[in-house]
Amino acid sequence: MPAPEASVNFLTAQQTTEQTTTSATYGDVSGAVTPTLVSGARYMMWVYAKIGGSNVNQLYSFKLVDTTLPDDTDMAGSEKVLEPGSASQYASYSYCTVFTAQSAGTVKMQFKANDGATTSKVRFAEFVLIQLNTPGAELIEGQDWWIVEDATATTLGTSPQTFAARTLSASVSSTNHYTNRINGESWAFWGHTAINYNNGSYQCNTNLVVDGTTVTGSQEPEDPNEVSCDWLQQAIDFGDANDKALSITASDEHASAANQYVSSRLVALRLEVFASYLIDQDLTAYDSTSTSWLTNLDGSFTPSTTGKAIAIGCSVFDGGGTGRHIYQKLLIDTAAHWGTSMSGTGSGTTRDGTDELPYQFATVISGSASTEFDYDWQWSKGSSASHGIEDRCLVMFTPELAGFRKTWDGSADGALNTPANWSGGAAPSKEDTVLFAENGTNAPASSSLTCKRVFFGKGFTQQFGGSTSLSVSAEIVTIDSPDAKLHITPTVNDLRVRAVRDVNPGLYLLGTIRNLYLLNPKGPVEVLDTARLFYLFVMGSRGVLPNAAPYASGRPVTLTIGNSQSDTGSVARCEGVFDVDQQHGGFKTIQIYGPGRYILKDEEDDETTDILLASGALLDFRGTTITGTVDNYQAVFSCSDNKNSQLDFGSAINGWGGIFIFDNEVGGANTTAFSGTTVTAHSSQTRFGQDTLTPSA
């Protein structure tokens, strides 16, 4: 592996002295505040604290505030309201998210005693943040990290309901989800949930489900006004070619509980992006009768050149009885990492024998450069009854990035192989990630690229290749530039197009592409007839760019696969799925030349303007409306799998030696469907209802 070139910026802050308040109004927890954040910087953040109160019959509240926003805005889903199970023990507070600093401010913790008389306590607090858009060390959304959020307020029932969720596709077996991982990669996942309790007698269960494996946190509240705020954690090595489903689910123990789901988020981080990383995970139960310190997870880790390591862990305490406590500490080379701040006070008190309490930590470890250290994450409990922990997960990673991140600056000329055109003064190698994040002094105009990943960012608006197509060989290429003119001949496993120019020319593709994902196209995309394309997926931006602006009317939204009616093989046997969703960037005009089977869906009841099929293409139409024309040149247009009861065809249907199958078994292709439609067919075959295909004049 090449030596690391760049590091992500990271921030940490610790408060290890207990802070208290008796105020009924929220106030700052002294020392529980981040360093000043960089305006415009995007951060992934983990917060852990030990919280409590002096009276087991009163409520105490805790939250995070973002001061980079006007009026010091509360961070969504960050409030926890607690009635402590013990006045001398401390509960766990945990929060994780991704956010952008809107100005040079901070994130701080606040607390209050709801009755204004007793004492609210914060025993310990720690913030850990990494800057995702560190200049020269950018982590790429969708490739290196992502977040999915859900904030649909819902009253829970006894059956698990799914909230924040995503499916990661490894192959073409799933055709309606964004592929954002490749085999052999390792990822860490955090699932954060906020629940408003509406009862003091029944448990609420929250689950982080990763590829069928469930980590559960559950707790019975003492007071119907309590609010939970916790994360669960899993990590996974992608070692097969199967899809991986991830979700956060929640349910109530009893039908009369009526607990209120508030929000959830899935946060994901690709660990291979870092120069050194570790996953230590055991999802089996570990029961013991001992009250001594026991090893939870242990091993060794070698940081890179800075000697720094970020460590994030989560375990679930299965109390097995009421009023039981658990304790934890982290030893680094046999020395307690937090001193006495963590080990002397509990991480929660069970209120019921079936409670499963998550307890977490996030911290930065300072060691010696490139020197191995030993870690020992330990736990103990206050009861000799047989019970213990389960679902243990620890991840560590260095701030230094693996391989090299090469950023184009074009300071010397337009040649991709000129070292002086790249950050660090060296041209990319096959293990590098290449970033066209901003415009260079010169636009890329000659030579070729061979690397691991390529990313065209929104700030890159120049031509890539100009009139000459440039060869790019990589595992993954992501295009997120709505203004650049790109002329590319890729040899690539995954080409992910989020945005292209909204005027001709938009994006012209040659080369060999196994999977082409058109995720948020804002303009015309043409796969030239010399390209080799195997699988094509067209979908809106839901889950990828949820804040994308609605599509402006009148823009040329055209997809062309192959570019001549005589094309016979460039996209042979290609398969494709189209999700026509104009609000989120679907295509209005679709032109397909050459053999292949395509499915045209219509998730939002949006319309397709024109369809042109030629040279053996088969289009499975599952939408509702075509406002323009359907032209069929020796291809197949089929509605046989269309489940809509009423279809609406446009101004004209024209066939030249093609096949039309309008039967959809639910009568959608009726007289109304063809009202105002002129049908012209030359040596074509058609089927209405269950009629046999017959040639038309």
DSSP 318-340: E--STT-BEEEEEEETTEETTTT
Task: Give the separation between CA 595 and CA 522, rounded to whole angstroms.
Answer: 26
**Gap between the Cα atoms of 208 and 500, Å rounded:** 35
**Contact assessment for residue 434 and residue 455, using Cβ atoms and an 8 Å cutoff:** yes
Pairing of strands 387-397, 277-282: antiparallel
Residues 659 and 553 in one domain: yes
Same domain, 367 and 487: no
- Identify whether residues 555 and 656 lie together within a single domain: yes
Same domain, 342 and 491: no
**DSSP code of residue 400:** B
- Residues 395, 510: one domain? no
Let me know if residue 627 belongs to a domain: yes
- 74 domain-assigned: no
Strands 161-168 and 294-301, by their bridges, are: unpaired
- Smallest CA-to-CA distance from 25 within 123, 92, 114 is with 114
Q: Quick one: pLDDT at residue 240?
A: 64
Which of 58, 85, 62 is closest to 15 using CA atoms? Answer: 62
- CA distances 535 to 469, 517, 561, Å, are 22, 9, 12
Q: Which domain holds residue 674?
A: 481-696
Regarding whether 625 and 499 lie in a shared domain, the answer is yes
Is 602 domain-assigned? Answer: yes
Predicted confidence at residue 509, as pLDDT, reads: 76
Q: Which two tokens stand for residue 55?
A: 């009276």
Tokens of 546: 């949820």
Contact (Cβ atoms closer than 8 angstroms) between residue 330 and residue 347: no
Tally of domains within the chain:
2
Which SS3 state, helix, strand or coil, does residue 198 take? coil
CATH of the domain at 310: 2.60.120.760
Q: Based on the domain organization, do 515 and 647 belong to the same domain?
A: yes
In a domain, 349, yes or no: yes
Q: Could you tell me the mean pLDDT of each successive run of 10 residues in the chain, 697 residues long?
A: 68 94 98 96 95 95 96 94 88 95 97 98 95 85 87 91 81 38 77 90 89 86 89 84 83 88 94 92 88 91 91 89 84 81 64 84 91 92 81 94 84 94 88 87 93 86 82 87 81 79 64 74 65 65 26 39 44 50 51 73 62 83 86 90 87 91 82 89 78 49
- Same domain (yes/no): 391, 508: no
364, 512: one domain: no
- Residue 428, CA distances (Å) to 272, 365, 369, 421, 443 in order: 18, 32, 26, 10, 16
Tell me the C-alpha distance between 509 and 119, whole Å: 65
The answer to whether position 408 is within a domain reads no
User: How do 373-381 and 145-150 pair as beta strands?
Assistant: unpaired
Tell me, yes or no, whether 660 lies in a domain.
yes
513-519: Cβ within 8 A, 24+ apart:
515/172, 515/179, 517/178, 517/179, 518/559, 518/587, 519/178, 519/544, 519/545, 519/585
| Predicted pLDDT of residue 152 | 87
Domain co-membership, 504 together with 630: yes
Q: What is the pLDDT of residue 162?
A: 92
On whether both 384 and 501 belong to a single domain, the answer is no
Closest residue by Cα to residue 48 from 348, 385, 379, 401? 348
49 found inside a domain: no
What pLDDT, on a 0 to 100 scale, did the predictor assign at position 183? 56
Report d(CA 415, CA 317) in Å as an integer: 58
What is the spatial distance between Cα 101 and Cα 39, in angstroms, rounded to a whole number?
5
Choose one of 350, 371, 403: the last residue of a domain.
403
pLDDT for the residue 662: 87
Q: Which among 355, 373, 403 is the end of a domain?
A: 403
User: CA distances (Å), 199 to each of 221, 671, 690, in order?
Assistant: 7, 57, 58
If asked whether residues 374 and 509 sit together in one domain, one would say no
CB of 178 closer than 8 Å to CB of 519? yes
Tell me which residue has tokens 């802050």.
Answer: 13
8 A C-beta contact, residue 632 and residue 656:
yes
Is residue 446 domain-resident? no
Let me know: does 563 contact 528? Beta carbons within 8 Å.
yes
| Boundary residue ending a domain (385, 403, 421) | 403
Q: 692: buried, middle or exposed (CB in 10 Å: 19+, 13-18, 0-12)?
A: exposed
Token pair listed for 130: 């990494």
